[in-house]
Amino acid sequence: MRDIQNQDDLYVLVDEFYKKLLADASISYIFTEVVKIKLEEHLPILVTFWSQAILGTGGYFNNLTQIHLDVSAKEYLSPELFNIWLNHFYAAVDENFKGEKAEQIKTQALSIATIMQIKIIQEKDK
Ligand code: HEM
């Protein structure tokens, strides 16, 4: 198995990841009912985001934490949901890639998820 090397690889990864999220009723409703994402628009944004994070390309300018605070204001993004999200992400990485970047992207996802959860808790306590 090879490592993540380019944006085509990231597209494969996010595509496989979202197949898992959307097939899991315990989290899919966030993407189909709370926010009705359009996959064909959403996946390229995810590729740009991860490309910036992992491959060092630029191009992602949105406020990712704020976007998730807004989602959580509609439907609370609980620690359970974050666990489910992370487990599908790890599985999508491990089933398709192996190497330094594959490890790096999982660590990054966990760091970002941790920061998001802290912000979500802070927002709840306001
Ligand atoms: C419980 C966990 C999570 C859920 C349910 C979730 C759900 C969502 C939803 C519904 C959107 C679309 C928002 C919109 O277009 O208004 C979104 C966007 C996004 N999410 Fe998450 N998310 C979660 C965690 C994460 C984490 C941990 C990361 C990164 C490590 C992440 C990365 C992204 C990115 C890059 C976008 C695109 C934002 C943009 O349009 O600029 N998400 N997420």
Q: Say if 101 falls within a structural domain.
A: yes
Q: Say if 1 falls within a structural domain.
A: no
User: Coil, helix or strand for 20?
Assistant: helix
d(CA 126, CA 28): 28
Of 124, 125, 113, the C-alpha closest to 65 is 113
d(CA 6, CA 54): 9
| Residue 90 beta carbon below 6 angstroms from any ligand 1 atom | no
Give the CATH number, domain containing residue 121: 1.10.490.10
| Residue 91 beta carbon below 6 angstroms from any ligand 1 atom | no
Q: Mean pLDDT of all residues in the chain?
A: 97
Work out which ligand 1 atom sits closest to the CA atom of 82. Answer: 1
Work out which ligand 1 atom sits closest to the CA atom of 27. Answer: 5
Q: Say if 12 falls within a structural domain.
A: yes
Q: 68 CA distance to ligand 1 centroid (A)?
A: 6
Tokens 């993540």, residue located: 4
* Predicted confidence (pLDDT) per residue in 69-84, tens digit: 999 999 999 999 999 9
Are 54 and 10 contacting, i.e. CB atoms less than 8 angstroms apart?
yes
Q: Say if 82 falls within a structural domain.
A: yes
* Predicted confidence (pLDDT) per residue in 17-50, tens digit: 999 999 999 999 999 999 999 999 999 999 999 9
Total domain count, the chain: 1
As a whole number of angstroms, the longest Cα–Cα distance in the chain is 47
| Residue 37 beta carbon below 6 angstroms from any ligand 1 atom | yes
Work out which ligand 1 atom sits closest to the CA atom of 60. Answer: 41
Please tell me the pTM assigned to this model.
0.97
How confident is the model over 106-110, as a mean pLDDT?
98
Q: Say if 2 falls within a structural domain.
A: no
Domain containing 18 equals: 7-125
